[in-house]
Amino acid sequence: MTTSAENRDQQNVVVIGAGIAGLMAAAAVAPHVDHVTLVEQDDLHHAPLVPRRRVPQGAHVHALLDSGRGVLDRLLPGFIEDAVAAGSLSLAVRSRWRSFDGHRWALPHDTGPVILSQSRVHLEFLIRQRVIALTNVQIKCAKVYGLVEGQGVRLTGVQIATDSNALSQLPASWVIDASGRAGQTTKWLHDLGYDSLSETVASPDVRYASMILDRADTDNAPCAWLQLAQAPTTRGLVLAPIEGGRWIATITDRFGAAVPKTAEAFLQALMGDFDPKYRQICEDIAPIGDVSRFHIGTVRLRDFESARLPSGFLPIGDAVATFNPLHAQGMSVAALQAEALGDVFADNSRRDGQILQDTYLSQALAISRNAWQIGRAVDMSYPNFQADADPDARRQALALGAAFAAATVRPDMARQVDRTLHMLDPFSALTEPLATAG
Ligand SMILES: Cc1cc2nc3c(=O)[nH]c(=O)nc-3n(C[C@H](O)[C@H](O)[C@H](O)COP(=O)(O)OP(=O)(O)OC[C@H]3O[C@@H](n4cnc5c(N)ncnc54)[C@H](O)[C@@H]3O)c2cc1C
């Protein structure tokens, strides 16, 4: 990545939302512009390690895949080492991120990828500390109400309001929309007269219930334990070690099946509904706090690439696409998009506004589509799963199923499967050779 002074331009970037995507976008573009202002509606000073009001998914397990882990360390050098020193755990897939397929625990041999495990709140806090230490980045506590367009469909800023003030304008040469799954992106574009975005929708219909537990063990190299729900079963469990000597336990279920509502029901399920390994690990654990729940009925992929958009508008993260969270893709997709964004800002040959926007959107959509296709291929093993009518979907699902089966006996295939699921290689690296082989 080029960060030389020659590439810097007198430009101010406004990022809507200081969640994971917004923070990573700020880190990525900061070396190439004059100033970055993150606008966040939540008060970030209040109880920094408690899930935020506008990010309720923060109470649930959030595994950072290897692709996201790598980007973070490139954008914020030394981040992973610092995070581990602050309590995050680097867990090698298969040997320390153990998985059970309903019949047996996968052999604990490493395939390469490593997951960074901690609570989502802690991860966001650590990234935020690094990002606000950048001299040209600031966070402003305010709510964005709209985009402001100048002459010639170029964005000139956003409309904001703080608690105490009336509406005002915050000028910007570029607006990065990292407003997330609940953001107002479509309304803001509609208010400026742009057509509705075309969306691809799927219905994973997943319910989450999570609790934090005290990790009252003396094991200083704990594993995460994942019991995958595999069709036709729908109930799954992940017990992952996180910062502060704690576990996060998340029970998931699908297609209308309920998850535990009370701490008592949760602990009963944890001890009785899954592999006996969990009973053994959880015998002496004490719950901290109550059960949090979340329901993800549908997910969507917005086609920003072929939409007419105001110049200077750059969406990222959940503002572009939401995914079935069981595949743990969202934060890593945002990370890969942030890196792509930094690269297009760094490249002088793309500094023309339209070229930069088009280049970024094409890369951002390719990253989201890749993740979308992986998730869809896994989910198609359930007859209740409803997705878009992509003619390639069935072939991709069959190829992925064949790769999963081959991975149980072929270490090279296990490695390729894990690299693909971690978005280190494109999905086509897995599906195309298999399709060609017949
Ligand atoms: C239950 C669940 C589990 C998940 N598990 C995983 C996992 O294991 N691994 C993984 O990688 N991903 C996971 N995800 C996805 C992950 O949470 C997101 O993809 C990721 O955090 C990126 O989010 P974001 O920053 O785009 O949006 P968000 O996290 O939603 O952040 C958006 C931010 O924008 C702010 N904002 C919105 N509108 C405005 C406005 N008008 N003005 C000012 N500020 C505004 C919000 O307050 C918020 O802070 C999970 C999601 C869910 C729902």
pLDDT (tens digit, 9 = 90+) per residue, 292-308?
999 999 999 999 999 99
Residues of the chain above pLDDT 90, percent: 75
Domain containing 425 equals 389-437
Whole-number Å distance between alpha carbons of 48 and 55: 13
Whole-number Å distance between alpha carbons of 208 and 341: 32
Query: Residues 333-379: pLDDT tens digits?
Result: 999 999 999 999 998 666 678 899 999 999 999 999 999 999 999 99
Mean of the pLDDT values across residues 405-412?
Answer: 90
Average pLDDT of the chain, as a whole number: 91
Does the Cβ of 42 fall within 6 Å of ligand 1?
yes
Is residue 77 included in any domain, yes or no?
A: no
Query: Residues 127-185: pLDDT tens digits?
Result: 999 999 999 999 999 999 999 998 878 899 999 998 777 899 999 999 999 999 999 99
Residue 312 is part of a domain; what is its CATH number? 3.50.50.60
Mean of the pLDDT values across residues 186-193?
Answer: 96
Whole-number Å distance between alpha carbons of 388 and 202: 6
Please name the helix (run of DSSP H) or strand (run of DSSP E) that holds residue 209, with its range, or none: strand 206-214
Q: Read off the amino acid at residue 192.
A: L
Residue owning the nearest CA to atom 16 of ligand 1: 330
Tokens read off for 389: 């009518």
Residue 54 pLDDT grade (very low, low, confident, very high; cuts 50, 70, 90): confident
pLDDT at 434: 53
Mean of the pLDDT values across residues 5-14?
Answer: 66
CB-based burial label for 77 (10 Å; 0-12, 13-18, 19+):
exposed
Handedness of CA 285, 286, 288, 294 (dihedral sign): positive
Mean of the pLDDT values across residues 118-124?
Answer: 95
209 and 292 fall within a common domain: yes
314 and 216 fall within a common domain: no
117 closest CA partner among 76, 48, 69: 69
ipTM of the complex: 0.99
Residue owning the nearest CA to atom 15 of ligand 1: 330
159 and 11 fall within a common domain: yes
pLDDT at 53: 80
Tokens read off for 1: 């990545």
Q: Which ligand 1 atom lies nearest to the CA of residue 296?
A: 53
Is residue 166 included in any domain, yes or no?
A: yes
Q: Which of 167, 318, 333 to mutate to test the pocket of ligand 1 (most atoms within 8 A of CB)?
A: 318
Confidence check: pLDDT of 437 > 60 = no
Whole-number Å distance between alpha carbons of 397 and 430: 11
Tokens read off for 416: 């390729």
182 and 210 fall within a common domain: no
107 and 133 fall within a common domain: no
Q: Which of 39, 43, 46, 54 to mutate to test the pocket of ligand 1 (most atoms within 8 A of CB)?
A: 54
Mean of the pLDDT values across residues 53-65?
Answer: 90
347 and 407 fall within a common domain: no
pLDDT at 48: 62
Is residue 78 included in any domain, yes or no?
A: no
Whole-number Å distance between alpha carbons of 379 and 231: 9
Is residue 305 included in any domain, yes or no?
A: yes
Is residue 421 included in any domain, yes or no?
A: yes
How many domains is the chain built from? 3
Q: Which of 179, 316, 368 to mutate to test the pocket of ligand 1 (most atoms within 8 A of CB)?
A: 179
Does the Cβ of 317 fall within 6 Å of ligand 1?
yes
- Strand ranges in 123-187 using DSSP code E only, listed in sequence order: 137-141, 143-149, 155-161, 168-171, 174-177
273 and 209 fall within a common domain: yes
Q: From 296, 319, 342, give the residue that closes a domain.
A: 296
Is residue 382 included in any domain, yes or no?
A: no
58 and 142 fall within a common domain: yes
pLDDT at 47: 62
The 10 Å CB-count burial string (b at 16+, else e) for 140-164 is: ebbbbebbbbeeeeebbbbbbeeee
SS3 282: helix
127 and 100 fall within a common domain: no
Determine how many CB atoms are found less than 10 A away from the CB of residue 394. Answer: 11
Judge contact between 185 and 319, C-beta under 8 A.
Answer: yes
pLDDT at 4: 42
188 and 316 fall within a common domain: yes
43 and 134 fall within a common domain: yes
Query: Residues 230-285: pLDDT tens digits?
Result: 899 999 999 999 999 999 999 999 999 999 999 999 999 999 999 998 988 888 78
Which phi and psi angles does 281 have, rounded to 5°?
A: -70, -35
Is residue 67 included in any domain, yes or no?
A: no
368 and 399 fall within a common domain: no
Residue 290 is part of a domain; what is its CATH number? 3.30.9.40
Q: From 375, 402, 422, give the residue that closes a domain.
A: 375
Is residue 40 included in any domain, yes or no?
A: yes
pLDDT at 163: 75
Q: From 263, 296, 329, give the residue that closes a domain.
A: 296
Handedness of CA 165, 167, 173, 176 (dihedral sign): positive
Does the Cβ of 379 fall within 6 Å of ligand 1?
no
